[in-house]
Each structure stands twice: as C-alpha cells, then as structure tokens.
Amino acid sequence: MHSSLINTQLQLGARMPETTGNCFNSFRARQHFVIRLLLLILYSACFPAFAQTNVPASTTNHTAAPARDQRATDIRSACISGRRCICGKVIKIVPEGLVVESGYTALMHPPFTGSWVIPAGALVNRDSKLLERDEPASPCIGTILLTDFPKRPTVKLYDYVLLQAYPAGEYLYTPVAGVEKQIRKFAGGLDTAVKLKLAAEK
C-alpha cells in the first residue's frame, strides 16, 4: 500500500513540468511534492515498528487472564477433592490460626456434633494407629494449621474442634524453641484456600 502511494506521487512529479505554466509555479509544485514524498516515506518507516511494538503486548494481556482463570479452577477442584474433616485438639494458638492435633474421630459422632467447638474436658481419645484415607471429607490425621474458621464460639487452648476444611498449602510450625517442621495448612473456607494456594505460586 505504501509503495503504491509513493509510486503514484513519483508519476505525478514526473509530469509536473508539462502541467505548470511558468518556472516559479513549477518550482513551488515540485517543492510541495518533495515534502509530501518525505512525509510518506517517514510514515512508511514508522508505522510497522509501532504496530510490532503494541500488538504482542495486547496479545499477551488477552492470553494471561484465561490462563489465570484456568489455574484457579484447577486449584478449586483439587481443594474440593482434598477436603478433610478436622477433628482434633487445639495444641497452640498462633497469629496465623490454630495448630490442631487432628485424629480424634470420636468427635464426629454424637454428642459432639452439636457445635464446631467442643470444650477441653470432653472425654475422647486419639487412635495413634489410625491412618488417613485419601478420600474427600475423610478424617484428617496429624498436626495441621487451621485458618479461616468461625469466630464464634471463641476457641481456647486445648479445646477440640470439628469442621470441614480445605488444603491451603503448608505452614512452618515451631513446637518448641529451636525446632521447626512443615505441617499442612487447611482453611475453613474454600475461597480462602484457593487464594492462599494461588498466592503461594507467585
């Protein structure tokens, strides 16, 4: 397109002396023709560079959003499949949530199912030989961090808790000074679990 425009201008310039009545007008006409020709050449040189600079950025923005949405959908599905029944004793309260020793499966049966918080005096025992099944909503076994839990009733140290929660990553737990270990982190809310796992990937 640009080359045809330039060729047209050149053809017009070649016929200019035949259509002009005197030397002065011919000079002015040729001067205007040269200016237009230079502008066309400049436009032809700049336009492709401008297009190449902007198109890839737009394409990247359009493809990044669907990729993030798809990743969030995949994480949500994994969280639903990996949900567990947290049934255990609160052994530590930290700013990030509750450290729970889960595996007190007796809490999943009456008379303990009336509230998600069971007082510390409840007579329940934990089977140390119990293994966790890889099934949705199965009892969670082991030490975990629980976050995004109901605010009422208030949980106290050594109370028991019973609720469904979703995997939300890992937490560095310090049982005693100088000792650290990675434990699983669960969130009471599905949306919170998805957000935490997405944030951990950044």
Percent of the chain topping pLDDT 70: 69
Confidence of residue 113 (pLDDT cuts 50, 70, 90): very high
Residue 160 contacts residue 141 (beta carbons within 8 Å)? no
Which has more confidence, 9 or 129? 129
Q: Which pLDDT does position 26 carry in this prediction? A: 54
Mean pLDDT of 73-89: 98
Model confidence pLDDT, tens digit, residues 156-189: 999 999 999 999 999 999 999 999 999 999 999 9
Q: Which residues of 58-85 are buried (b: 16+ CB within 10 A; e: fewer)?
A: eeeeeeeeeeeeeeeeebbeebeebbbb
Residue type, 38: L
Contact 158, 120 (CB under 8 A): yes
Query: Which pTM does this prediction carry?
Result: 0.69
- The residue among 74 and 48 whose pLDDT is bigger is 74
Residue 158: per-residue pLDDT: 98
Region 93-120 average pLDDT: 97
Q: What is the pLDDT of residue 67?
A: 86
> Would you place residue 65 in the very low, low, confident or very high pLDDT band (cuts 50, 70, 90)?
confident
- pLDDT digits 0-9 by tens, 15-46: 444 444 444 455 565 666 657 767 666 656 55
Q: Which residue has the higher pLDDT, 79 or 57?
A: 79
pLDDT of residue 66: 86
